[in-house]
A = this chain, B = another copy of it.
Amino acid sequence: MTSTEEYKTLAANACARRDASMADIEKYFPLPEGFESKHLAPLPDPLPLNVTGIAKEYLNPFDYEITSADPIKLLADIASKKYTAVQVAAAYLRCAVLAQRTVNCVTEFLPDMALALATKCDKYLEETGKTLGPMHGLPVSLKDMICLKGYPQGFSTCALTTFITDYDSLIVTNLRDAGAVFYQRTTQPQSLMHLECESVVFGRTVNPYNRNLTSGGSSGGEGAALGFGSSCIGLGTDIGGSIRNPAAMNGVFGIKLTANRLPVGDTFFINGGSEAIAGAVGPMGRTIEICELLTKVVCDAEPWKISRELAAAPWNSDILKDKKKLTIGVNYTDGVVTPQPPVQRALKEAVEKLKAVSSIDGIEIEVVDYAPFKQELGWEVITSLYFEDGAEVELETFAKVGEPVLPLTEWIIKKANPNVKHLTIPELWERNKSKYKYRYDYNQHFLKSGVDVILAPAYFGSAQPWSTAESLNSTWWGYTSIFNVTDMPACTFGVTTVDPEKDKPIEGYTPLNETDKSIYERYKPEIYKDAPVALQIAAPRSEDELAFYATKLISKFLKA
């Protein structure tokens, strides 16, 4: 075989490994006698565009009761022995099979690990009458780049599919110690630098609300699993929007905390050792409460005592106890790309609702405008530092086995910022200085605004059709990446879905620039039918608890 074809074998092997792990589910979790489940039954052909109803239809009602339960309630039901942890793991694994068959969001199922962890929970509860910890028996899904000892760490690239890591990421240990049950690893795109989710290894992960659309990215597998219902909580990572975008595109919650809050340093980055832009690891979940619980569990494990890069910041909900007022700064547009009509409507409706009340849960609410701050410069700063080596390590890794470079990979490396190149050290220093200056100036802008939190679009639109060489659809990360360059905690959450009746194209709009023009012209409401639409709340750096608090308050109020 020529080296240019080697990638195909590697990808096929990885998919075969995934398929074998799927087949193993039946071995580790055989169906109890008389328990019928259609999770392996033939599915409609063609599949409907919207597959969010599949789980209810194809799962046994007992399994569906479990997988559709509120995760905090599910924890209580496991603790009270209504369900065993093994039953819960089985239900989620069978649901995950359906998700894989419809949206292709899994890189590997972990039935053996899930059975061992769930059995341990059940045994412990049986023997001691106590739960193992606050995550006792809860299925937790892991983005593929989170390391599991003895498992491949493929970084979604063919050449690495056979690379096995020899340690667990610290956050895995923290969650496992608290009783979490890992049961699946989820897809991510080539290079991990797309707001979509396509890799040469595993193909495309599609959006469960509309299979013609991407699931978002880079934690797109987790996003799709949450949207489908085969996950209630999982881990993603975010260096430009990779937690928040797929959460938003699937109508769930995703929070990027301050980068050094949760242990991200030992998750797998192909450019390990790079310090210019810090990625974050964090929760993506069905509810804000389960995201908060996961965060609290990790903080309570004091990971900074092991990973000395982290902030020594215990979880502190007390800092909000005297909060009497919340000033919300609404950012309608970032001034580079005007949000598409569904996002405009979602934000407008939210603001109207918020402005109509004086308080929520006894907290005085003030809604003011929040102006964007040099978003184009923010984008230039962050993209000038994503690939300090000009992405040589990525490109060489792809080339080694002939893996084609996908259009969005090509775009972020070569087109998003024409100045990306292998930097010299003084060039790196200069770019770092620009980063500090931007952060400082942004922060001054924020402080002057007087707002506590920012309410903004999660993205310029809902989920987009896939990017191809002819049409790059996911090229403006500004709504999320702004909070990476400024390292502010930010949470996205679904508020509505695209309604072609309400969300008509805006006539006579004059685009601000080429990107804005292409995004404006691309908008045809029917393309986006059923796609979730999300907003975002951001708080100052290190005020992660405030980000959770404000998101809880506002998202619940908007839903009510």
A: which residues have CB within 8 A of B?
Answer: 265, 271-276, 304-309, 311-313, 388-389, 392-393, 422-426, 428-433, 436, 439-440, 443, 447, 486-487, 540-543
Contact = CB atoms under 8 A, between A and B. Distances in A.
A265 B436 contact: yes
A433 B309 CA distance: 12
Nearest to A311: B311
Given A273-B430, A275-B275, A425 B388 contact: yes
B425 A542 contact: no
B307 A429 contact: no
Contacts of A305: 443, 447, 540
B426 A425 contact: no
B541 A308 contact: yes
Contacts of A487: 308
A304 B305 CA distance: 21
Given A311-B311, A312-B311, A273 B428 contact: yes
A414 to B, nearest CB: 17
Contacts of A543: 312
Contact of A272 (B312, B388, B429, B447): B429
Contacts of A392: 426
A148 to B, nearest CB: 19
Nearest to A435: B273
B443 A308 contact: yes
Nearest to A444: B306
Nearest to A486: B308
A137 to B, nearest CB: 30
B304 A436 contact: no
A424 B274 CA distance: 12
A406 to B, nearest CB: 23
A543 B313 CA distance: 11
Interface-centre pick from A265, A312, A443 (highest chain B CB count, 10 A): A312
Given A389-B426, A422-B425, A426-B393, A440 B273 contact: no
B312 A429 contact: no
A540 B308 CA distance: 9
A273 B433 contact: yes
A276 B265 CA distance: 15
Contacts of A433: 272-273
Nearest to A307: B440
